[in-house]
Structure 1
Amino acid sequence: MSAPTLPSGARLRLLAAGDSAALARAYRDNRGHLAPWEPLRDDAFFTPAGQAEQVARRLEGLASGTDVPWVLEREDGIVGTITLTGIVRGPFLSAHVGYWVDGRLQGRGVCSAALHAVLEHARDELGLHRVQASVLPGNAASRSVLHRTGFTLIGMAPSYLRIAGAWQDHLLYQRLLH
């Protein structure tokens, strides 16, 4: 995928091994913004060393074909991530997508444009049929991104993920690509 230009001067590109320090900075800058929507994170997660571990895992997934990790970046650094995970081949041809964008850029179409590009890649380059996303019912911004990019609600999963220290229900969405 070529690096599409997104709103607010952002662009989408594959995660690289050298992104650890910039990711640590982005996560530190957005720690409060992301806290209600993510698992509890220890302080090490927000360091370059902690992010180096995360980057290594994501790049292992890329090499094995189970994940495709991207970063959203601007001239001032990384401002989000979007990742296809759990890619399954065979008759399922499916993946899960997760994403976040810097709180300063929320509501500007950055995440929707990035997700649209990722869905095109999933269909055209990976040959996937379906992409699923899960979201907390109270995450109106993320639900809006999913609606704008053609996802449909398929159900609710009780106690689906441990987020912000508690098992929480999630709404499940899917986008059929064919």
Structure 2
Amino acid sequence: MIDPIPLVDGVALRELRPDDAEALAHAYTGNRAHLAACEPERDEAFFTTDRQATEVAAQLGDAARGVSLALVLATDDATIVGRFTLSGIVRGPFQSANLGYWVDAGRTGRGLATTAVAAIVGVARDELGLHRIQAATLTHNAGSRRVLERNGFEHIGFAPTYLEIAGRWQDHELFQRILHD
């Protein structure tokens, strides 16, 4: 378990918990329009507490197997205002993971994502023993690109039709951060 990490504006980065389903459903519902252009298409059930409970259980199962680390940005009153995930953790000679994230529409532009990614880099290096983190951004997502660059991620390539986002296969820019010399 990773201790909660205080960030800015009374928000902490902490591990996802089984009781987060209702708060996640509320967060996704409130950010539906904000996230629509940057995430896969979601059916109506995705925005319910029941579906989020299923999603949380699956993500916690992945975490227990050591293949992911699911985190949330939460306020003192347990309101969720963002999600950060290290997924696809590979051990052995690779020691790598993929980083994905989003921040509540009302909290963007305040350095919250930049601060959270910095904290995750430290956790990945110091607690998980990873060597590398990769992240992909939509080509038009300048804000996400800036977050990565501010955290020392280097541009490593262009991936045409990389992920199906908002109902169509879209190009992405690829970034990585090497955590050990």
**TM-score in same-fold range (> 0.5):** yes
What residue is the counterpart of 1:92 in the other structure? Answer: 94
Distance (whole Å) between structure 2 residues aligned to residue 40 and residue 94 of structure 1: 27
What residue is the counterpart of 1:25 in the other structure? Answer: 26
Q: Deviations over 1:52-81 (max 9, x none)?
A: 111011001110000000110113500001
- Count of residues paired in the alignment: 178
What residue is the counterpart of 1:39 in the other structure? Answer: 40
What residue is the counterpart of 2:75 in the other structure? Answer: 74
Distance (whole Å) between structure 1 residues aligned to residue 6 and residue 16 of structure 2: 16
TM-score normalised by L of structure 2? 0.96
Q: 1:2: Cα distance to partner?
A: 2.6
Contact 1:8 1:105 in 2 (8 A): no
Share of identical aligned residues, percent? Answer: 54
Partner AA of 2:12 in structure 1? R
What residue is the counterpart of 1:177 in the other structure? Answer: 179
State the SS of the aligned residue for 2:9: helix
TM-score normalised by L of structure 1? 0.98
Q: Deviations over 1:130-169 (max 9, x none)?
A: 0000000101111111111110100001110000000001
Q: 1:120: Cα distance to partner?
A: 0.5
Distance (whole Å) between structure 1 residues aligned to residue 54 and residue 163 of structure 2: 22
Partner AA of 1:6 in structure 2? L
Partner AA of 2:54 in structure 1? E
Runs of 4 or more consecutive aligned structure 1 residues displaced over 3 Å after TM superposition: none
Distance (whole Å) between structure 1 residues aligned to residue 76 and residue 127 of structure 2: 27
RMSD (Å), alpha carbons: 0.8
Q: 1:103: Cα distance to partner?
A: 0.7
Partner AA of 1:29 in structure 2? G
Distance (whole Å) between structure 1 residues aligned to residue 56 and residue 141 of structure 2: 26
State the SS of the aligned residue for 1:7: coil
Which of 88, 104, 110 is the equivalent residue of 2:106?
104
Which of 124, 134, 143 is the equivalent residue of 1:122?
124
What residue is the counterpart of 2:17 in the other structure? Answer: 16
Distance (whole Å) between structure 1 residues aligned to residue 143 and residue 51 of structure 2: 28
Q: 1:9: Cα distance to partner?
A: 1.2
Unaligned runs of 5+ in 1: none
Distance (whole Å) between structure 2 residues aligned to residue 71 and residue 136 of structure 1: 22
